[in-house]
Amino acid sequence: MRQTTLRDVAELAGVSPRTVSNVVNGYARVTDATREKVERAIAQLGYRPNVLARNLATGRSGQIVVVVPYLDTPYFAELLQGIIPAARKLGYNVLVDQTDGDRDHEGELIGRGSRRFLFDGMIFSPLGLSQEDLSVRDPDLPLVVLGERSSDGTFDHVGIDDVAASTDAVSHLFSIGRRRIAAIGDQPYPTGEAAQLRTQGYRAAHALFGRPVDESLIISTARFNRADGATAMAALLDRADPPDAVFCYSDLVASGAIHAIHQRGLRVPEDVAIIGYDDIEDGRYSSPTISTIQPDKKAIAQMAVDRLVKRIASPSPVPGVELRAEHRLIARESTLGVATSS
């Protein structure tokens, strides 16, 4: 028996093949009555749409993949709240892949051996791959890179000015009168490129305010998470000369640091002022609320989707561009205290 085709379904249902296709793919609004007719015909004939075969023919899957290091990092979860609706509006479904910052996994995803034919393009936030690694990739994969890398001319890069943002954060701590400012979140080269830009800003703010950098106050952590923030803060509080303020390289690190300060019975900001980075929702509800650097996540998401869809649609290679989103300093209770909080 020959295989049932979409045409057979259309004939039995008394509709056009395009209508069957719409029902099958859920692409367009179809009336309930029509949908029912088509579904009855599908059931009667035992029709099985073959999505892979369709993709093979058109070369498109209608899916884009967003690749992030950690889904339990709220910054990425919040960024996705901008990317997903922006992509859907342009007709793309979004799937998300978590790499754990694993260099091999990241390399596979952008390499020639990638499963890329399942996706029309990729928005990628690398962690394990260095800037150089990014150049060894499938040149035909439409790619937009987020975070602290830069474009090599073959893909687009969207990010904020991390050095300027970090300078703003540490300058804020100086401007409220703090003089002994620690940094939590530094990471060594080559995987620590993001962290190093923040350390650069930390140094720049010291230069701006004419203060020497105490290298012993720059604390490295393996990740930008709560546990590492708490551990690093506890070690700083154990010192004979603890800091009076800390620049944390993420709001999660700040949340962990505040927890460690509270565990000692100390107060934020009276004993130690804290500023984070990312402006995740957590920091707007915590006690105290957390001062932070707010990247314009909606703009980052929209730029990334617009560029990717443009790349996907273009028959010829599109030159890579650098796009920069705005950031701003949000001062809350963890630096200003409850009385004067904004």
Interaction between residue 262 and a second copy (CB under 8 A):
yes
The binder of a second copy chosen from 14, 16, 44, 104 (CB under 8 A): 104
Q: Which is nearer to a second copy, 177 or 265 (CB)?
A: 265
Nearer to a second copy, 197 or 260 (CB): 260
Query: Which element (helix H / strand E) includes 65?
Result: strand 63-68
Q: What stretch of H or E contains 64?
A: strand 63-68
Distance from chain centroid for Cα 51: 29
Q: Measured from the CB atom, is 111 or 337 closer to a second copy?
A: 111
| Closer residue to a second copy in complex, CB, 212/315 | 315
Site string for a second copy, 36-75 (x = CB under 8 A): ---x--x-----xxxxxx-xx----xxx-x-----xx-x-
Contact flag: residue 337 with a second copy (CB under 8 A): no
Q: And the tokens for 129? A: 């791959």
Q: How far is the CB of 191 from a second copy (least distance, A)?
A: 19
Verify binding: residue 86, a second copy, rule CB under 8 A. Answer: no
Cα–Cα distance between 325 and 296 in angstroms, integer? 6
For residue 330, count other CB atoms closer than 10 A to its CB.
Answer: 19
Q: What span, in angstroms and rounded, lies between the C-alpha atoms of 47 and 176?
A: 69
Q: Tell me if 237 contacts a second copy by CB under 8 A.
A: no
What secondary structure does DSSP assign to 105-170, as a single string? HHHHHHSTTS-GGG-SEEEE--SSS-TTGGGSS-TTS-EEEESS----SSSEEEE--HHHHHHHHH
Q: State the CB neighbour count (10 A cutoff) for residue 156.
A: 24
Chosen residue from 6, 45, 96, 318 binding a second copy by CB under 8 A: 96
CA–CA dist 273, 28 (Å, integer): 53
Tell me if 112 contacts a second copy by CB under 8 A.
yes
Identify the three-state secondary structure at position 42.
helix
Q: CB 321 → a second copy: shortest distance, Å? A: 26
The reply to whether 125 sits near a second copy by the rule CB under 8 A is: no
CB of 93 vs a second copy, minimal distance in Å: 7
Using CB under 8 A as the criterion, which residues of the chain lie in contact with a second copy when the complex forms? Answer: 23-26, 39, 42, 48-53, 55-56, 61-63, 65, 71-72, 74, 77-78, 80-81, 84, 93-98, 100, 104, 107-108, 111-118, 226, 230, 255-256, 258-259, 262, 281-282, 285-287
